[in-house]
Structure 1
Amino acid sequence: MSADRNWATDEAQSSKLVRKAKESPFVPIGMAGFLAVVAYGLYKLKSRGDTKMSVHLIHMRVRAQGFVVGAMTLGVMYSMYKEYLAPKDPDEK
């Protein structure tokens, strides 16, 4: 019986994730961008030249954080546009 409840909970969590992603689409974009920047940085780790490992990792971290902050900023601007500037339907509550 508990396996059935866990499955129902997992289904509810995945549907909740999909719903949240539709409400704020820039969150998954920021997460994907973060992973892409980190993957690219790790791929380029061997060909970093004379750069120290610590400097390379710090630059990779700053780029990844910059991507996430940029995505969050765009998400906030998008939600503010939807809330305050977008034309609203008179039928909608």
Structure 2
Amino acid sequence: MSDEDNDSKFMRKVKENPFVPIGLAGCVAIVGYRLMKIKSRQDTKLSVHLIHMRVAAQGFVVGAMTIGVLYSMYKDYIVKPREKQKALAEK
């Protein structure tokens, strides 16, 4: 058995990758909004409306993942080397 319960494991994962829950929340928000607007779609076919909803939700998730990867690369390749240089300079 692990000494870490599900809540603390989830919070640790959120702190490591903050853009995953942002992407998930955005996807749910877009799908919810587009489902609410399904009655006011005028003369657009239902299938076209659903395709647009899927594309918008996927676009948001891919954008959030891209920003998360760029942020992670920034931390790993720019911030950490600066901290290492600073630590060596202080010695």
* Partner residue, 1:37: 30
2:49 aligned residue: 56
TM-score (norm 2): 0.84
Tell me which residue corresponds to 2:21: 28
After TM superposition, the runs of 4+ consecutive aligned structure 1 residues lying more than 3 A away are: none
Q: Which runs of 5+ in 2 are unaligned?
A: none
2:61 paired with 1:68: yes
For 1:56, the aligned partner's letter is H
- The root-mean-square deviation of aligned C-alpha atoms, in Å, is 1.9
- Distance in 2 of aligned mates of 1:73 and 1:61: 18
Tell me by how many angstroms 1:51 deviates: 0.3
Give the counterpart letter for 2:66 in structure 1. T
> Which has the larger share of helix?
2
Q: TM-score, normalised by structure 1?
A: 0.83
Give the whole-Å Cα distance in 2 for the aligned partners of 1:41 and 1:82.
35
